[in-house]
Amino acid sequence: MRAGEIVGLLGPNGAGKTSTINMVLGVLQPSAGSICIEGTDLARHRSQALAHTNFAAVYAALPGNLTVHQNLRFFSLLYNVAGGARRIEQLLTEFDLQPLRNTRSGVLSSGEQTRLALAKALLNEPRLLLLDEPTASLDPSAANLIRSRIRAMASRSGCGILWTSHNMYEVEQTCDRVLFLSRGRILLEGDPKTLPHAHGAVTLEELFIRLAREPLAAGSQPASTATAAGR
């Protein structure tokens, strides 16, 4: 991952996208290899490495029995954010959460919960941001707004973003680079705007479907993997 780069992590269900994110978050130990965040080895210096990281995921809702402000206060302390009160106010304003600051998170709509999760994910101004289907429950307008904000944030702060999504339009619009995963391996990597044509597909969605349906079991190699393996 490079600074300011948005990388799309694509693959069918069970490909290993969420497992990859969990490994980078330090809640799942890799069976091999190592993870370095800002030059810090996660396995050896977990706390220092995770201080530069944050995430938002649809399956990791913030405690619903705390209000929006309480959740942000709680996580700002967990991430040891200096000047947390000021940062929280900034994020409440940036994500239009000021009117909801005293509302319990559990009663927020999906879109509001997503905005809260993103505000929490930016509390510590991470150098690496992991977003697992961040717009999955948003309407097209809200999703578009969130994508614009994240793109702007990435270019402004130089934060690297690893983004999973099943929305190929979104990936094409947002990501600088994509990784196609299957069974925990990278099948293909490249620019989402040029990759489909380079592999004989019209759209990224068509390429995704083709890759997802290729027989990968029992060591059989798909035709497209040969290209990826040569990189």
Partner 1 sequence: MKLRPIAAIALRQFYLMRGSPTRVLPMIAWVAVDIVLWGFISRYLNTVTSSGINFIASLLGAVLFWDFFTRVMQGVTMAFFEDVWSRNFINVFATPLLISEYLTGLVLTSVATSLVGLVVMLLLATWLFGLPFFALGLLLLPFLLVLFLFGIGLGVLASALVLRLGPASEWLVWPIPALLSPFVGVFYPLATLPPWMRAIGHALPPSYVFENMRSVVAGHGYSGSGLLIAIALALLDILLAAWLFTVIHRYAVRSGLLARYSAESVS
Residues that bind partner 1 (CB under 8 A): 19, 22, 25-29, 46-48, 50-51, 53, 55, 57, 59-67, 70, 73-75, 77-81, 84
- 37 vs 228, which CB is nearer to partner 1? 37
Smallest distance from partner 1 to CB 106, Å: 9
Task: Give strand pairing partners of 167.
Answer: none
| Pairing status of strand 40-41 against strand 36-37 | antiparallel
Q: Report how far apart, in Å, the C-alpha atoms of 163 and of each of 70, 82, 186 are.
A: 27, 27, 15
- 131 vs 228, which CB is nearer to partner 1? 131
Check if the beta carbon of residue 138 is closer than 8 Å to that of residue 146.
Answer: yes
Smallest distance from partner 1 to CB 164, Å: 15
Smallest distance from partner 1 to CB 198, Å: 35
Smallest distance from partner 1 to CB 58, Å: 12
- 121 vs 187, which CB is nearer to partner 1? 121
Measured in whole angstroms, the distance separating CA 109 from the mean position of its chain's CA atoms is: 21
- 116 vs 153, which CB is nearer to partner 1? 116
- Around Cβ 36, how many Cβ atoms within 10 Å? 12
Smallest distance from partner 1 to CB 223, Å: 32
Give the pair of three-digit tokens for residue 9: 């992590």
Check if the beta carbon of residue 163 is closer than 8 Å to that of residue 156.
Answer: no
| Pairing status of strand 6-10 against strand 177-182 | parallel
- 66 vs 142, which CB is nearer to partner 1? 66
